[in-house]
Structure 1
Amino acid sequence: MEITKKTVLVTGGGSGIGYATAKLLSEKGNKVIITGRDAQKLEKAANELGVNYIVGDVTSTESVNGLVAKLESEYGDLSVLINNAGVGFVYKLGEGANAFDKARQEFETNYFAPVRLTEALLPLLKKQPEAGIVNITSNVAFHPLVVLPTYSDAKTALHSHSVSLRLTLSSDTNIKVFEVMPSLINTDATKDMGGEQHGLPPEVAAEEIYNGIIKDQYEIFVGEAGRQHADYFNDPKAAISKFNQGLY
Structure 2
Amino acid sequence: MKTTGNTVFISGGSAGIGLAIAKKLQAAGNKIIINGRNEERLQKALAELKDAVGIQGDLSVEADRLRIAEELKTNHSDVNVIINNAGAAFSYLLSETKNAHEKALIEMNTNYIAVIHFTELLLPHLLQKDAAAVINVSSMAVYGSIKLLPTYGATKAALHSYTVALRMTYEEQKNIQIYEVYPPLVNTEFSAEIGGGNGIPPSEVADELFIALEKDQFDVPVGETKKYAAAIQEAMSKLNA
Tell me the TM-score normalized by structure 1: 0.90
Report Cα offsets for 1:25-52 as digits up to 9, x if no partner. 0110000000011011101101211211
Residue 191 of structure 2: aligned partner? 190
Contact 2:62 2:114 in 1 (8 A): no
Residue 46 of structure 1: aligned partner? 46
Contact 1:56 1:67 in 2 (8 A): yes
The 5-angstrom pairing of residues 69-148 of structure 1 reads 69-94=70-95, 96-148=97-149
Residue 157 of structure 1: aligned partner? 158
Q: Partners of 1:190 and 1:171 in 2: how far apart?
A: 37
Residue 239 of structure 2: aligned partner? none
Counterpart amino acid of residue 151 in structure 1: Y
Residue 224 of structure 1: aligned partner? 224
Secondary structure (helix, strand or coil) at the match of 2:221 reads: strand
Report Cα offsets for 1:174-196 as digits up to 9, x if no partner. 21100000111000011111111
Q: Partners of 1:145 and 1:96 in 2: how far apart?
A: 16
Is the alpha carbon distance of 1:69 and 1:99 closer, same or farther for their aligned partners in structure 2, counting shifts above 3 Å?
A: same
Residue 210 of structure 1: aligned partner? 210
Counterpart amino acid of residue 230 in structure 1: A
Q: Does 2:63 correspond to 1:62?
A: yes
Residue 242 of structure 1: aligned partner? none
Counterpart amino acid of residue 101 in structure 1: E
How far is the alpha carbon of 1:77 from its aligned partner? 1.3
Q: Partners of 2:167 and 2:91 in 1: how far apart?
A: 30
The 5-angstrom pairing of residues 164-179 of structure 1 reads 164-172=165-173, 174-179=175-180
Q: Partners of 1:164 and 1:214 in 2: how far apart?
A: 23
Q: Partners of 1:54 and 1:95 in 2: how far apart?
A: 37
Tell me the TM-score normalized by structure 2: 0.93
Report Cα offsets for 1:148-205 as digits up to 9, x if no partner. 1210010000000000000001134621100000111000011111111x10000011
Is the alpha carbon distance of 1:182 and 1:108 closer, same or farther for their aligned partners in structure 2, counting shifts above 3 Å?
A: same
Contact 1:137 1:181 in 2 (8 A): yes
Q: Partners of 2:218 and 2:142 in 1: how far apart?
A: 15
Residue 241 of structure 1: aligned partner? none
Is the alpha carbon distance of 1:204 and 1:11 closer, same or farther for their aligned partners in structure 2, counting shifts above 3 Å?
A: same
Counterpart amino acid of residue 212 in structure 1: A
Counterpart amino acid of residue 42 in structure 2: L
Is the alpha carbon distance of 1:34 and 1:80 closer, same or farther for their aligned partners in structure 2, counting shifts above 3 Å?
A: same
Q: Partners of 1:112 and 1:173 in 2: how far apart?
A: 26
Report Cα offsets for 1:92-146 as digits up to 9, x if no partner. 2236342101101111111111111100000111111010010000011122212
RMSD of the alignment, in Å?
A: 1.5
Report the identity percentage.
Answer: 40
Q: Partners of 2:172 and 2:231 in 1: how far apart?
A: 32
Q: Partners of 2:173 and 2:226 in 1: how far apart?
A: 30
Report the number of matched residues. Answer: 234
Contact 1:139 1:229 in 2 (8 A): no
Is the alpha carbon distance of 1:28 and 1:233 closer, same or farther for their aligned partners in structure 2, counting shifts above 3 Å?
A: closer
How far is the alpha carbon of 1:87 from its aligned partner? 1.3
Range 166-175 or range 59-68, more displaced? 166-175
Contact 1:71 1:78 in 2 (8 A): yes
